[in-house]
Structure 1
Amino acid sequence: MFDFSNPQYWDTMFQLLTPATGETFYMIIVSTLLAYVLGVPLGVILVISSPNHISPNPWIERILGTIINVFRSIPFIILLVLIIPFTRAIVGTYIGTTAAIVPLVISSAPFVARMVESSLKEVPYGVIEAALSMGSSPWQIIKKVLLPEAKGSLVLGVAITTISIIGYTAMAGAVGGGGLGAVAIQYGYNRFRTDIMLMTVVILVLIVQVIQSLGTMLARRMTHH
């Protein structure tokens, strides 16, 4: 049994969980940003190259869509191992929080692309036609019509993507990725410390709840405005 009334117990938990929580936030923030840097352009290209849109190109849409679907179909834990040589070439190692970011981005970017595609397709085409009639270029339509009109849905997509990445970070921890997932496996599961496993779960649940609540609130405000 664990003495929860002992200050030393909580001091030990603090020293164990605080760095791991920081590592998890590091992976989440960097991975989400990089996934959107790659995923937003891919999603935009998927939309504008689709039939009856501003720059229809069936070859680009099919090839890009197929590549995205392939990467989305690979389970994260398999992708993590599959791209070890690529990860090592990028960051010099395949173990640790920074190394985990590489597969996190590669796994999340296709998901982001589909989220962005779905959000942009919600924009009424009548708005786009109005911009075309005024002589707007495709870039102007993307920048001033598509993205602003879909901002509420895009923000909600950021929350959903971030929550998915949180789940991936836990799996990355199982193979040396660091963060709360590593603590849960190494100190909780392997040492039969149920209390540590529960604490990591509680922290992850709290993070998810905060992100989802913020995303929903921002999306509502942007949609109303």
Structure 2
Amino acid sequence: MDKQYFKDIDWQAMWDATVQTLYMTGYSVLATFILGILLGLLLFLTSPGNMWENRPVNLVISAVVNVFRSIPFIILIVLLIPFTTLLFGTMIGENAALPALIVGAAPFYARMVEIGLREIDKGVIEAAKSMGASMGTIIWKVLLPESMPALVSGITVTAIALVSYTAMAGVIGAGGLGNLAYLEGFQRNRNDVTLVATIIILVIVFIIQFIGDTITKKIDKR
């Protein structure tokens, strides 16, 4: 069957490309989760009526988030080439894709974090403040736990977006399934290579969605 229908596929190369895609997705999701929560907390806490209310700071952070989440990913990769080259000494390979992946996804996730925090009942926050809870306690014991279902749901959506970003990054040399589908599939007119790479990407997306939905249902107490 393989010889008849998938004669053009190098299965070792397909496996290596899958590992590269998982590598880029995994590291960028982790960094995006951390940076997105930090940015989202700052957006929420410095907004009007909240504990660190500071309009100038909020406007600056909001502007930065809006700018970077609005730049098309392909353009963002090009804009970050000097920084990427300075950091890794090359603009080619899976490591070189990480800065663009993180910078592109973190602001997007930060907005989801902010929305999740805004959905928290303000009475819960006021109750914690009235009991003398410190800022750290409010963040770790109230804000993050109360918004956790939204945070997990948001990072699930972001992780799926990152999988598609890795495919786009692959077209310009980042490696992974996108690179394989473009160079070995599209450019050489090997439709079976493109098809299998696409199927693997879809499987990765379905697995991420399943894991995210399962975790969200377990921690959602509503």
Which secondary structure does the structure 1 equivalent of 2:220 belong to? Answer: helix
Q: Is residue 72–residue 111 contact of structure 1 (8 Å, CA) maintained in 2?
A: yes
* Per-residue CA distance 1:155-206 (angstroms, 9 max, x = gap): 1111111001001000000000000000000011000011111111111111
Kindly provide the amino acid, as one letter, of the partner of residue 171 in structure 2. Answer: A
* Per-residue CA distance 1:120-139 (angstroms, 9 max, x = gap): 11111110000011011222
Q: Is residue 24–residue 180 contact of structure 1 (8 Å, CA) maintained in 2?
A: yes
Between the aligned partners of 1:5 and 1:38, the Cα distance in structure 2 is: 44
Aligned ranges 1:73-84 → 2 under 5 Å: 73-84=70-81
Between the aligned partners of 1:178 and 1:140, the Cα distance in structure 2 is: 43
The match for 1:129 is: 126
Q: Does 1:14 align with 2:11?
A: yes
Which secondary structure does the structure 2 equivalent of 1:150 belong to? Answer: helix
62-71 or 48-57, larger mean C-alpha shift: 48-57
Choose which of 134, 147, 151 in structure 2 pairs with 1:150: 147
The match for 1:43 is: 40
Between the aligned partners of 2:30 and 2:79, the Cα distance in structure 1 is: 23
140-149 or 50-59, larger mean C-alpha shift: 50-59
User: TM-score under structure 2 normalisation?
Assistant: 0.95
The match for 1:189 is: 186
Q: Is residue 125–residue 138 contact of structure 2 (8 Å, CA) maintained in 1?
A: yes
The match for 2:103 is: 106
Between the aligned partners of 1:119 and 1:202, the Cα distance in structure 2 is: 32
The match for 1:72 is: 69
Q: Which runs of 4+ in 1 moved over 3 A?
A: 7-13
1:12 Cα offset (Å):
4.7
Q: Is residue 80–residue 100 contact of structure 2 (8 Å, CA) maintained in 1?
A: yes
Alignment RMSD, CA only? 1.7
Q: Is residue 185–residue 193 contact of structure 2 (8 Å, CA) maintained in 1?
A: yes
Question: For structure 2, which runs of at least 5 residues remain unmatched after alignment?
Answer: none
Between the aligned partners of 2:128 and 2:155, the Cα distance in structure 1 is: 27
The match for 1:120 is: 117
Instruction: State the number of aligned residues.
Output: 222
The match for 1:58 is: 55
Q: Does 1:198 align with 2:195?
A: yes
Distance 1:15 1:7, change over 3 A: farther
Question: For structure 1, which runs of at least 5 residues remain unmatched after alignment?
Answer: none
1:224 Cα offset (Å):
2.7
Q: Is residue 55–residue 138 contact of structure 1 (8 Å, CA) maintained in 2?
A: no
Between the aligned partners of 1:180 and 1:52, the Cα distance in structure 2 is: 46
Q: Does 1:218 align with 2:218?
A: no
The match for 1:160 is: 157
User: TM-score under structure 1 normalisation?
Assistant: 0.94
Between the aligned partners of 2:34 and 2:90, the Cα distance in structure 1 is: 23
